Structure 1
Amino acid sequence: MNYKTTRLNGYPLKFHPIFKERLWGGQKLKTVLKKEITGDTIGESWELSAVEDNVSIVSNGPWKGQSLQALIEMYGEDLLGAHVYRTFGNSFPILIKFIDAKKDLSIQLHPNDDLARERHDSFGKTEMWHVMQADEEAELIIGFNKDVTQEEYREHLDNNTLSNILNYEQVTKGDTFFINVGKVHAIGAGVLLAEIQQTSDITYRIYDWNRKDKDGNTRELHTELALDAIDYKKKDDFRVSYPKAVNSPNEMVTCPYFITNYLVVEGVLHLDHSDKDSFVIYMCVEGSCKILANDVEEVLDTGETLLIPATLKNIEIQGDHAQLLEVHL
């Protein structure tokens, strides 16, 4: 096959996950999501990524072994959609992950587009979380529990009392959260979740529980960089309520960076994406289903992700109470 001249043969694309060892990682990516990991502290599975040095590789079909970036550069709007390609060029705009927090993550935040572009030549990092499993009394940190000034924040940081002004949210399976840029946050111990975010790996770590890595070193903090990036207001704008109608896309999050719907598939669901000038991503967060398109059938199990090229408009999903996140621009 001549990759440079053949039009993208639209079929559901699956990719090899990219595993990330983290100080706070555990074993749920293996025990719950059945991923083939070998380390004891694998905290992240990057499912769909075009981040430099972390580009996803196709695992199925005629394009097996090709990178996502190579396909974008060869097929542009056929893969991404004309509107997406005009906006982002050869940059894939979304990063998809599953995250297992055996221990608390650091308290952190992400800069907005302007700051990220100015300081790091990067996108900002708006993101959302969908909880797939949570241990009893597991929590997330999202925002402040009151309005604070920069001076108050700095005083608590210096006095090691930052937790006194943070907002804690107990979570259970199915809870969903939208995390705006500038909002301080942390995934707590015992939470397994799906994360959808802008393509960016820019994180400002502001507190790390005074812990050390296996070599006895503390991790870098970004105290000064964070000061102008933090939203110091208390805002209850993060918990997402969404319907759960069967065999119909249920709106979860709509923002300039991604649109996410929740799907519960019972039996057969036919979907027409002719109204979208975008690729579509499916993340299976519970159960199993079959996705059929262009006479190609792919099984999507819990913890797996699949990319539908923009040229592929009609698909069929078969499942028995399979639960999916549908993501597009």
Structure 2
Amino acid sequence: LSIQVHPDNEYALRVEHEYGKTEMWYILDCEPDSFLYFGVNKEITKEEFERRIQDNTLLDVLKAVPVHKGDVFFIKSGTIHAIGAGIQICEIQQNSNTTYRVYDFGRVGKDGKPRELHIQKAIDVSNLSPIESDFKPCGPEEKNGDCDTVRLASCEYFTTYESTLNGTTTLHVDDESFGSILLIEGSATIENDGTTLEANKGDSVFIDANSGDVKITGNCQWIYSRV
């Protein structure tokens, strides 16, 4: 991925007339020695930030983080970031298309020209202080019968959970938000209001808000997201 950053709502609404973007990444799988970029590795000024973009030394001040299966990266708006090679992720994000490309490794597009950079906007919105994180789930683990659940990340835009099931459990989908299930291991039977779905690893299931109790049976693992 190109080195990029997303603005917050205030800046994006004022400049782009749409919302900003906060997102999270869950590492589904990765090759040995894979890494990604997450913020800066030391405090830098806007002047140094711009200079390093221009002289191709920006990577020297970015935090390169080795990744492992199951790691969680919460990427608040303003966080400079990029996915490296050999990584499969699940991304949950605020619904926005506003991305400022900071650095593109000297690549060119299909037309043979460098892709557009958005340097001044990136300077405006980037957090240039290091961000501390252990890259683990943020919440406590809860056991409910055959199902173990842990909260991965939570913010004003979304909350996500990871659940591991060996048997049967019930998920309640209230009227405040739809539910989204992404099966990341195994297979499951999902039942609600007379509808039965067979889901396998990689399948995504959308559940309408106010669907009530959803019965899930299987030996599987999934990520559940809601507004």
TM, length-normalised to structure 2: 0.93
**What residue in structure 2 maps to residue 145 of structure 1?**
41
Partner AA of 1:285 in structure 2: I
1:175/1:244 CA distance change after superposition, 3 Å: farther
Give 5+ residue unaligned stretches, structure 2.
none
Matched, 1:328 2:214: no
Secondary structure in structure 1 of the residue aligned to 2:217:
strand
The structural deviation recorded for 1:216 is 1.5
1:179–1:238 CA contact under 8 A, matched in 2? no
Alpha-carbon RMSD:
1.6
**What residue in structure 1 maps to residue 206 of structure 2?**
307
Distance 2:78 2:40 in 1: 11
Matched, 1:277 2:176: yes
Partner AA of 1:325 in structure 2: I
**What residue in structure 1 maps to residue 163 of structure 2?**
263
**What residue in structure 2 maps to residue 92 of structure 1?**
none
Distance 1:319 1:115 in 2: 45
1:210-221 → structure 2 map (5 Å cutoff): 210-221=106-117
Secondary structure in structure 1 of the residue aligned to 2:42:
coil
Distance 1:240 1:205 in 2: 27
Partner AA of 2:225 in structure 1: V
**What residue in structure 2 maps to residue 223 of structure 1?**
119
Give 5+ residue unaligned stretches, structure 1.
1-104
Q: What's the CA shift string for 1:66-125, capped at 9, x where partnerless?
A: xxxxxxxxxxxxxxxxxxxxxxxxxxxxxxxxxxxxxxx100000000111111111111
1:167-178 → structure 2 map (5 Å cutoff): 167-178=63-74
Secondary structure in structure 2 of the residue aligned to 1:257:
coil
- Comparing both structures, which one devotes a greater share of its residues to strand? 2
Secondary structure in structure 1 of the residue aligned to 2:122:
helix
Secondary structure in structure 1 of the residue aligned to 2:59:
helix
Q: How many residues were matched structurally?
A: 223
Q: What's the CA shift string for 1:9-35, capped at 9, x where partnerless?
A: xxxxxxxxxxxxxxxxxxxxxxxxxxx
TM, length-normalised to structure 1: 0.65
Q: What's the CA shift string for 1:130-154, capped at 9, x where partnerless?
A: 1111111111100000111111111
2:2–2:82 CA contact under 8 A, matched in 1? yes
Distance 1:265 1:108 in 2: 36
2:142–2:150 CA contact under 8 A, matched in 1? yes
Q: 1:293 aligns with which of 192, 198, 220?
A: 192
